[in-house]
A and B are shown apart, each in its own frame.
Chain A
Amino acid sequence: MAVSNGSLGYIVVDGAEGFFRGASLVVDFRGIPMDFRYTDPIKPTRLEKILYGSALEVYLREELILESLIGAIEVKPMIWVCREADLLSSLKAITKGKVLFLAPSNRSPMDAVGNLENAGESGVYMIQADSVSAPLRVAFPEATREDEVKQTTGVLVEAAKTMELLEPFGRIQKAFSSLGEE
């Protein structure tokens, strides 16, 4: 599957109230959906909880849901974006592409769009993606090279000209809600 230029992939794996479910949304740089996949909710039984033990959640989230979603998509994005930092390494291993974790911050804006600052932790940065919002917190998997970080954040800055980078997560949540009402 060839990478679709000008696209970002958002992935969410939710594990609230004993139900596990996930969704992936690939959008173009305007936020228009190109591919959306979601899983049916999985509720592990008591026996499965006993058998799998503490490995259950990791198995469900990282192996079962994540792998199934990535395997099902038909449009491969330039970058995969997740909002759970613990998914980062598995996402990288499964997609074998560019992946990052993205979250809002309360920091005051940086001087210029595209500015990148180390946030004090390895692989974690603050990026000023556009001129009309607070910097975003972005994290990369371990051993991500410096040039790859710059290349990836460059794509984010480009996308932020025409879309709000965190907005698709909200749409996935709305899609979950509408599915739950059915």
Chain B
Amino acid sequence: MITQDLKDYFCRHFLGRVEVKPFSLVMAPPRVLSTKRTVETHPIRTEMKVAGFVLLAQKNIVCSSRGFRFAAQWVRTRGSKIARYVPEEIRVHTRPKLRAKVREGTKRVAVLPQERSNRLQWQPVRPKKEGEMILAWYGPLIEDAILKLTLNKQQGTLLIWYNPQSRRFDPKGIYLYRRLGVGKDFEWRWV
């Protein structure tokens, strides 16, 4: 205490000041809080994003690309519970429409031979000489348009390659003969 008195004494003499501390009686206004509550709403359904779409080709469904119009009776709306797990993005896969691709193949088929079966059983005319036997008759054939003839021995059919540039249309038939006897060969004969 003495020390404090001494300090005050010397302060008055040498400094002439006394520390004066302010004291206010004005109280700060009380903080007013509202009892009204606000509710913050967060949707649990995330935004859906359609990545693509396709219309299936059905003749009986009327569809339009502009505004995607379709008949009202096909619209079905109904309420349902919100699913807990909702996908963030719905991807609608595009199915390519069924299509038939047509290719040109005339050259491809032009190299294929025509095939004639043996029609001897229907052929009433059977010209033959002594010592020979008719094995087959093939026709109708355009002799002057033929490029190549080949006998398919396994099938007994005749394969024909025609010259596509030929303008001949005269039909003929061809007989296949076998000469009877040892060592005798086959013979073709046009009629």
Contacts and interface: CB of A to CB of B under 8 A. Distances in A.
Contacts, number: 107
A132 B100 contact: no
B16 interface: no
Given A22-B100, A30-B142, A162-B169, A131 B122 contact: yes
A36 B162 CA distance: 16
Interface in B134-188: 137, 139-140, 142, 145, 162, 164, 169, 171, 173
B45 interface: no
Contact of A36 (B105, B124, B145): B105
Which of under 10, 10 to 19, 20 to 34, or 35 or more describes the interface residues of A?
35 or more
A37 B100 CA distance: 12
A38 interface: yes
Contacts of B55: none
A138 B178 CA distance: 37
Given A30-B162, A163-B140, A175 B98 contact: no
Most chain A C-beta atoms within 10 Å of own C-beta, residue among B99, B109, B139: B109
B100 A42 contact: yes
A35 interface: yes
The secondary-structure label for the interface of chain A is: mixed
Contacts of B145: 30, 32
Interface stretch (B72-80, B84-92, B110-118): B110-118
A20 to B, nearest CB: 8
B48 interface: no
Contact of A30 (B102, B103, B169): B169
Nearest to B103: A38
17 contacts: A23-B105, A32-B164, A39-B100, A40-B100, A47-B95, A48-B95, A64-B99, A68-B100, A72-B102, A72-B104, A132-B139, A133-B122, A170-B115, A171-B112, A172-B109, A178-B112, A179-B105
